[in-house]
Amino acid sequence: MIFLISFACNAYAQKSMYVRVYDLSGNKIYKGEIFSITDSLLLLNGKKEPIEIPVSKIGFIKTKRSAGNNVLVGSVIGLSAGALVGALSADPDAEIVPISTGAGAAGGAVLGASLGAVVGGITGLLKKTKTFLINGDYAKWPAFKSFILEKSIQTK
- pLDDT band, residue 6 (cuts 50/70/90): very low
Alpha carbon distance 148, 19 (integer Å) = 10
Residues whose CB falls within 8 Å of the CB of residue 3, separated by 6 or more in sequence, listed in order: 115, 119
What is the phi/psi pair of residue 115, to 5°?
A: -65, -40
Whether the per-residue pLDDT at 4 is higher than 50: the answer is no
Report the pLDDT value the prediction gives residue 10, as an integer from 0 to 100: 43
Report the pLDDT value the prediction gives residue 150, as an integer from 0 to 100: 81
- pLDDT band, residue 53 (cuts 50/70/90): very high
Report the pLDDT value the prediction gives residue 155, as an integer from 0 to 100: 54
- pLDDT band, residue 48 (cuts 50/70/90): confident
Q: pLDDT tens digits for 70-109?
A: 899 999 999 999 999 999 998 888 888 888 999 989 999 9
Higher pLDDT, 147 or 2: 147
Mean pLDDT of 12-26: 78
Report the pLDDT value the prediction gives residue 20, as an integer from 0 to 100: 93
Report the pLDDT value the prediction gives residue 96, as an integer from 0 to 100: 85
SS3 (DSSP) at 140: helix
Report the pLDDT value the prediction gives residue 56, as an integer from 0 to 100: 95
Instruction: Check if the beta carbon of residue 137 is closer than 8 Å to that of residue 144.
Output: no
Top CATH class of 2-149 equals mainly beta
Angle among Cα 70, 76, 82 to the nearest 5 degrees reads 125
Instruction: Check if the beta carbon of residue 2 is closer than 8 Å to that of residue 8.
Output: no
Report the pLDDT value the prediction gives residue 12, as an integer from 0 to 100: 43
> Where in the chain are the domains?
2-149
